[in-house]
Amino acid sequence: MHERESYQQELEALRFDNSFTRLLPGDSGEGKQPRQVYGACYSRVAPTKVSQPSLIIHASDLASRLGLSDELCRSDAFSQLFSGNQLLPGMDPHAICYGGHQFGNWAGQLGDGRAINLGELINTNDERWMLQLKGAGLTPYSRSADGLAVLRSSVREFLCSEAMHHLGVPTTRALSLILTGEMVMRDMFYDGRAALEPGAIVCRTAPSFTRFGSLQIFASRDDTTTLKQLLDHTIIHDFPHLGEPCQQVYLEWFNEVCQSTAELVVHWMRVGFVHGVMNTDNMSLLGLTIDYGPYGWLEAFDLSWTPNTTDREFKRYSYGQQPAIAGWNLARLAESILPLIGDIEPLQEALNTYSQNYKTLWQNMMVEKLGLKSFQAETDHKLLEELQHMLTLTETDMTIFYRKLANTNAEVNLENINNNKLIEPLLDAYYQSEDIAYDLQQQMADWLRSYIQRLQQDGVNNTERKENMNRINPKYVLRNYLSQVAIDQAEAGDYNEIHRLHELLKHPYDEQPEFDSYAAKRPDWARNRAGCSMLSCSS
């Protein structure tokens, strides 16, 4: 048997059960022309064929989980399939209809404008994985866009979703990154200077890509029939432990979404991740990080920092606003299911519980970052407040600060150590360490003394505490400038840096001394460079 035939047989052995298109109402219209779609959860649409698909990288562990061998992933058959050029018999390609609030305003119908779902793959463990091609061409939801994606945004999507997974943050996954062989016109800064860029497609996967906006669109149209169908389907397939859908189960489901959303945002805050565009159409009902656009990691600690140029003025989606915005988005979701509940009070109770749960989860997360055993209100409220304030007094790299904090000697005699010696382990975290004013040094030292006294109360030895802290505080995150270096090289035809970053970020909590340079502060040349600081919503 020829190798190509063998790979094709391996692909055709994959099992699909397309419950979303099989059980939910679809668009009666045909073609890819932009249109308003009513009474339907999706539109069937085929990916646009590309001229020369070639694999740049794939995620081996995910491929194995899906039942795909590394050899298959490197084959032309794989590239043809996951660029959309070919389809398997069991696939049912479609784009999903949804709406959403964008920057606080209702935007109406949005939908999968450049993403096409190939189908729901059932692996050998009976897990359901929706396979989705991002950048696969026009759909009825593309509006005035072309449905395509470019290499720079696709590199960022692939690397970030995989980095988040290995950080332990709930997320969609990325199976592959494929160059299409096409050139795509983009105006990256929306300033009239459009240019051709290499096109690419990411295959991303999740049990479901259903969003807050998936329910909102039907509520906004008073279409309670389709709203109920979609919510029932979501509960049956993604929340089967809740039982048969009914009014009480809807409430239990909403409470669970509130809980998973709180847990998700706490993870973002833990690692310093800023999503950048928390519109309701970018919020997963499964509590996953979804839609990697103008994201970023905090470098200089700043609660008001946003990576999104569109959000530069109002900072709606800044780092410190993420918990509140998640609550606001949950309130919009509650409004959308109110017609099925009939009583606003239990929904409001769930929203109130979200706020309290988030606060508790955040406090517990923070004491873990500090290496403490548990949150003690009488001391730790003040300790955390003073820490948050201290981090803003001078330009402080968040990731490096917490990683270096693990080196604090809690067994020191505080009466026999001066301030300079006390703060010395943290100096690498400061961008201007040589210029820290005396009064700031005093504040840092005062906080460290309080922190060490608190550690001494816990009685955990230095070695054990450092190990605990290093399991929650990463050494390596996908800083924007690291992505940009990989993108620059990829656009010149060199993909080695993409592979290097991907391998490095599989182990973000390990020391990996050979990669120490990737854990350094952002270099000065990247401070204001496009792609290294803030980003636009452009693909």
Catalytic residue ranges = 281
238 vs 210: CA distance, rounded Å: 10
Instruction: Report the sign of the C-alpha dihedral through residues 177, 183, 187, 193, in that order.
Output: positive
What is the widest separation between alpha-carbon atoms in the chain? Answer: 78
205 vs 129: CA distance, rounded Å: 6
**CA atoms lying within 13 Å on the CB side of residue 235:** 21
Taking phi over 0 as left and psi of -120 to 50 as alpha, with beta for the rest, 444 belongs to: alpha
DSSP SS3 for 361: helix
C-alpha closest to that of 119 among 41, 214, 21: 21
DSSP SS3 for 44: strand
C-alpha closest to that of 214 among 330, 98, 334, 102: 98
Token readout for 201 is 């497609």
C-alpha closest to that of 201 among 115, 112, 95: 115
**CA atoms lying within 13 Å on the CB side of residue 439:** 1
Instruction: Report the sign of the C-alpha dihedral through residues 67, 71, 75, 79, in that order.
Output: positive
DSSP SS3 for 302: coil
Strands 173-186 and 128-134, bridge-based pairing: unpaired
Can you point out the beta strands (E) in 187-237? Answer: 195-206
Can you point out the beta strands (E) in 39-172? Answer: 42-44, 54-58, 94-96, 99-102, 105-109, 115-122, 128-134
C-alpha closest to that of 448 among 472, 419, 470: 419
